[in-house]
Amino acid sequence: MNTINYILWNPSLEAFHLGSFSIRWYSLCWLVGLLMAYLMVKRLYKEQGIKEELFEPLFFYCFIGILAGARLGHCLFYQPDYYLTSGKHFVEMLLPIHFMADGGWRFTGYEGLASHGGTLGLMIALWLYVRKTKLGIWQVLDNIAIATPVTACFIRLGNLMNSEIIGKITDAPWAFIFERVDSMPRHPGQLYEAMAYALLLAIGWIAYRKWPQRVGTGFFFGMCLTYIFTARFFIEYTKDIQEAFEAGMPLNMGQLLSIPFVILGIVCMRRGVKIKNKK
């Protein structure tokens, strides 16, 4: 195999240092993605005449909901046999630490986060936010959906920097060799997803400018769910399995978890179109 034909990929995990404290690319991508979504939704709220004091708690709800949902989703969907088999492992599910064999522990950060769990956690967080602010649930969901793709895009770029969620072996000329994994050329599945979500961001923003009156009908929320998880379903065919138990499955866990979100998205889009047609 001539490795010069492929993209050698082995970036540093750390973006920069602040004294003895290091900031990883993955964490930085999460923060940039959340910040950009925050600024976009803030602009949408302002354009729609929603009071600023109703916007302020939104970031807190979203951040906690996404992080908690993504973490629990990974642990319960992909590694329940590890995290639910001992008290120490259960603590590792909740806290970003790993207990060592010698009785000590080390800080690891949250090394496993699942997008399906993050989506579910976000939906629960937004329901709690709506209960507090008394805003319309569909208006909030639509506004969040318009901005969500930018966060999803940066999260997948973070996965790329971590050389995780790697693709299957391929001879495609754009294949990446993830040197921290092995020496085989593989599909950059993370990059495929990041590009798909960047395209959705553009589509959603253009659609909002064309049909701003559809905010509050559930149309944008449905479009976001349908697009993201349909893309995820098909891109999964280029990815390597994440856990051994997926090896004999006709559809992997990511694909199985995508199906209900696609169905929910289609239902919400149809709802949005029907409401718009009645006006």
DSSP, residue by residue, 215-253: TTTTHHHHHHHHHHHHHHHHHGGGBPPSSGGGTT-SS-H
Spatial CB neighbours of 126, under 8 Å, sequence gap ≥ 6:
61, 62, 65, 137, 140, 141, 144
Which 8-state DSSP code applies to residue 169?
B
Residue 156 known to bind ligand: yes
d(CA 165, CA 171): 18
For 5, the 3-state DSSP assignment is helix
Q: Which of 129, 117, 127 is nearest to 257 (CA)?
A: 117
For 123, other C-beta atoms within 10 Å of its C-beta total: 18
Phi and psi torsions of 171, nearest 5°: -105, 15
Helices (H) and strands (E) in the chain, counts: 10, 7
Cβ neighbours of residue 155 closer than 8 Å, sequence gap 6 or more: 29, 30, 33, 113, 115
Tokens of 15: 């973006």
Q: How far apart are CA 170 and CA 59, in angstroms?
A: 40
Please give the radius of gyration of the chain, using alpha carbons only, rounded to the nearest integer.
Answer: 20
Annotated binding site: which residue ranges?
Answer: 156
